[in-house]
Structure 1
Amino acid sequence: MADLNAGSVVAARNAADVVTTKMTARNVNVYYGAKQALKDVSIDVSQENVTAFIGPSGCGKSTFLRCMNRMNDTVASARVEGEIKLDGEDIYKGGMDVVQLRARVGMVFQKPNPFPKSIYDNVAYGPRIHGLAATKADMDAIVEGSLRRAGLWDEAKDRLGESGTAMSGGQQQRLCIARAIAVDPEVILMDEPCSALDPIATAKIEELIDELRGRYAIVIVTHNMQQAARVSQKTAFFHLGTMVEYGDTSMIFTNPSEPRTKDYITGRYG
């Protein structure tokens, strides 16, 4: 019996160590007109980990994040080359439904951007578009569940009819996260979600990211290296349009293999 129990423990540990690749990028190059913004970026993003993109301003990290749900399609001069796959399917192939892609790969922006609608309607907006609720009761359940997952239900449940723009900055950002997860995405992209928030609101968002980890593949762009160290398990360092180094967050911050990464981490530039 002891051997069986030991085997069960080993099996459980091995299962916990399994990493599911959710998105892959290979040799991604991005151009804005004649200017090349990204050069040969290749990375795997897993379901289980929070992945942080760090690097100085203008290094390409947000540009690459926007490639992951084709937000760069909205920029007329942008051109993306290479391959980005979601569950093995090339998201840039002809015939890809970009609206459905963005439901599967949601984005939370740097500045909270709730719609000028009620708190309820902000969360219900995506499910309505995608026909995810057959009845009012179904929609109520989606709204409540999304606000609970975003850690906002207790603060919002008695004011669902009030405007989302009347909330505090930190509450607005959590409302935007609730809006993103209401369509049950598989990946959540966050572009500096805490840069406009105070330390208390930032701490709540970081706690939320940790709670959501594993349920969604999460990628966060941040200028705050301490934040990257706190919330992520994988980190990619970008510099001058290239991804210099990618690996376990603990290794990137304590024993980077590339001199440019070490220089950035130690504050020699940035």
Structure 2
Amino acid sequence: MSSQNSLPEQGLNLDKTAKNMTAEAKIITRNLDFFYGDFQALKNINAQIDAHTVTALIGPSGCGKSTYLRVLNRMNDLIEGAKVKGEVLIDGQNIYDKKLNINELRKNVGMVFQKPTPFPKSIFENVAYGLRVNGMTENLTERVEKSLKQAALWNEVKDNLKKSALGLSGGQQQRLCIARTIAIQPDIILMDEPTSALDPISASQIEDLIMELKERFTIIIVTHNMQQARRVSDKTAFFYLGDLEEYDETSRIFKSPASEKTQNYIRGKFG
């Protein structure tokens, strides 16, 4: 994995998506390019994501949404031949700086995957796992309980904490994975289609949870569900063939998008 660690402020080629960038933003990407070998998956992405907001990433399959998501906690580092250029700043720090502690980054930027991934352990130990790994064992029982409450799961499992997490329903397993993620107190939560494998009732519970969690976390969610994007997000980013075609307030994106491509996508003309 290689990176271009620092770009001077002067001469940055910031496009219309970057007009209102400020130093107070939680996440800023500047002139971000990403390559899988010779294939360019992201092209000159400029965007600002503010703290305590929900940002939805939408667009056709293969357009760069999940790649962008994984750039934010350097999960793409694990892919041979992957290369990033430009800057990704979190709280003003370039996360592709060679001096950065990647373990600390991934502790600060949690990830929830499309399919629930509970460990074959008890409900309690699933949440406690990350706490133990990170040496956060003081008041362990209280930390686990707090995380389960924040994930809106405590009342359903409080009498069965020693039972296997694999016995939970799909929706409960996903909320358990969210509890496991937030237990180590990240600032940012990345969600890659977190409800696509769930039934409508469970999906609705996750959506309600996302709305509650943004009071404490900054959340970025990849979704193919346009109604979900409208319901849960403050801002929406439309990716198309590696470009950030449009990025704006969600209400504006869905009511009066500036781009014809955005309009055609959200109206179901392609995707």
Query: What is the TM-score when the length of structure 2 is the normalising length?
Result: 0.90
Max radius of gyration: which structure?
A: 1
Number of the residue aligned with 2:210 = 209
CA contact (8 A) 1:20 1:48 kept: no
Query: What is the TM-score when the length of structure 1 is the normalising length?
Result: 0.90
Q: Aligned pair in 2 of structure 1 residues 166, 77: CA closer, same or farther (>3 Å)?
A: farther
C-alpha RMSD of the superposition = 1.3
Q: Quick one: which amino acid aligns to residue 85 of structure 2?
A: E
Q: Is 1:65 aligned with 2:65?
A: no
The structure with the greater share of residues assigned to helix is 1
Q: Is 1:55 aligned with 2:55?
A: no
State the distance in 2 between where 1:53 and 1:191 align.
9
Number of the residue aligned with 2:17 = none
Runs of 4+ in structure 1 displaced over 4 angstroms?
none
Give CA-to-partner distance per residue, 1:134-183, whole Å, 9 cap, x none: 3xxx0001000000000000111111111112211100100000000000
Give CA-to-partner distance per residue, 1:42-62, whole Å, 9 cap, x none: 111111310000001110000
State the distance in 2 between where 1:199 and 1:25 align.
34
Deviation of the 1:27 alpha carbon: 1.1
Give CA-to-partner distance per residue, 1:63-104, whole Å, 9 cap, x none: 000000001011112111111011000111012111111110
Tell me the percent identity: 55
User: What is the SS of the residue equivalent to 1:56?
Assistant: coil
Deviation of the 1:214 alpha carbon: 2.5
CA contact (8 A) 1:47 1:214 kept: no
State the distance in 2 between where 1:185 and 1:171 align.
21
Q: How many pairs align?
A: 250
Number of the residue aligned with 1:10 = none
Gaps of 5+ in 1: 1-18
Q: Quick one: which amino acid aligns to residue 87 of structure 1?
A: D
State the distance in 2 between where 1:202 and 1:27 align.
35
State the distance in 2 between where 1:80 and 1:156 align.
42
User: What is the SS of the residue equivalent to 1:160?
Assistant: coil
Q: Is 1:195 aligned with 2:199?
A: no
CA contact (8 A) 2:191 2:221 kept: yes
CA contact (8 A) 2:236 2:253 kept: yes
Number of the residue aligned with 1:140 = 141
CA contact (8 A) 1:27 1:82 kept: yes
**Match 1:75 to one of 75, 79, 84:** 79
State the distance in 2 between where 1:141 and 1:126 align.
14
Number of the residue aligned with 2:134 = 130
